[in-house]
């Protein structure tokens, strides 16, 4: 019977299980916030060696492979919680944790999801795991910028994370906000795309202005303009109208 139980445990049947309980507000969390909670590990039908436990902040992104868009998962942060230990049959172990969300954690908007993955590395067996999805609100400085864009008369058309391993902004992914004008005040503008990467005291902004142009301009690739600039916290905190005016001036330079 012991051999049978060990064999089944190695296949994941009757093996140790893990459950993560997050202590997060229903309204959501923001990049830079600390998530608290505890992990419950319950032993299976036989004693097992646990090589380690870690938490991962996960999201997904769009990547082009052979001219086809595919969605892949990526880890944004890792938190090792416990080194090797043994858990007995039906034994229960609990661990508390504090996990800080990276400042570049994407907002859960559009098709973007963020979750906390608990990984339980079990020796000579299938690893156990637990996924807990969370709602991520914009970083306060990013939220101010998004509100200023809204005040200018734009609406969000799409939000998408893209693979950017060589980005100068230092993140494995970039979350792109795509806006379209609601009014005629930006008559020549077809769409506005922005990537907003917050840091301590500032936000890096990658902006692309796509103008309505003729077929020749599109063929020559002159209907789009890109710029990278930085907005300090003091510039963002001047007020929504002042910030909207700053963004409008930058947008109109390319129209």
C-beta of residue 62 within 8 angstroms of C-beta of residue 173: no
Hey, which CATH number is domain 2-134, 3.30.70.2660, 2.60.40.640, 3.40.630.10, 3.40.50.150? 2.60.40.640
Give how far Cα 130 sits from Cα of 22, 58, 121, 147, 161, Å.
11, 12, 12, 35, 23
pTM for the model stands at 0.84
In whole angstroms, what is the distance from residue 22 CA to residue 116 CA? 9
Strand partners, 82: 53
* All structural domains of the chain with their residue ranges: 2-134, 140-252
For residue 124, with 0-12 CB atoms within 10 Å meaning exposed, 13-18 middle and 19 or more buried, which class applies?
A: exposed
Per-residue pLDDT of the chain (255 residues; tens, 9 = 90+): 454 344 333 434 447 888 999 999 989 999 999 999 999 999 887 888 889 899 999 999 888 778 788 888 999 999 998 888 888 988 999 989 999 999 999 999 988 999 999 988 887 556 678 899 999 999 999 999 999 999 999 999 999 998 877 777 777 789 999 999 988 888 778 899 999 999 999 999 999 998 765 443 444 444 568 899 999 999 999 999 999 999 999 998 887
C-beta of residue 57 within 8 angstroms of C-beta of residue 108: no
């Amino acid at each position: 019977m012991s051999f049978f139980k060990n064999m089944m445990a190695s296949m994941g049947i009757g093996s140790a299980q893990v459950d993560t309980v997050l202590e997060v507000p229903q309204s959501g969390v923001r990049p830079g916030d600390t998530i608290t909670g505890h992990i419950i590990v319950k032993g299976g039908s036989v004693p097992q060696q646990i090589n380690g436990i870690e938490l991962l902040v996960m999201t997904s992104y769009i990547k082009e492979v052979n001219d086809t868009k595919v969605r892949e998962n990526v880890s944004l942060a890792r938190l090792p919680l416990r080194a090797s230990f043994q858990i007995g049959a039906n034994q229960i172990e609990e661990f508390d944790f504090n996990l800080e969300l990276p400042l570049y954690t994407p907002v859960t908007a559009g098709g973007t999801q963020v979750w906390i993955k608990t990984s339980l590395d079990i020796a000579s067996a299938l690893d156990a795991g637990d996924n807990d999805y969370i709602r991520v609100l914009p970083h306060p400085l990013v939220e101010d910028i998004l509100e200023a864009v809204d005040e200018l008369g734009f609406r969000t058309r799409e939000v998408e994370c893209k693979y950017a391993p060589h980005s100068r902004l230092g993140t494995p992914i970039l979350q792109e906000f795509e806006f379209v004008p609601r009014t005629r005040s930006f008559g020549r503008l077809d769409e506005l795309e922005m990537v907003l990467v917050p840091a301590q005291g500032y936000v890096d902004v990658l902006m692309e202005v796509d103008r309505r142009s003729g077929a020749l301009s599109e063929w020559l690739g002159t209907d789009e303009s890109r710029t990278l600039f930085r907005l300090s916290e003091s510039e963002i905190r001047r007020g929504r109208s002042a910030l909207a005016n700053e963004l409008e001036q930058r947008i109109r330079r390319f129209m």
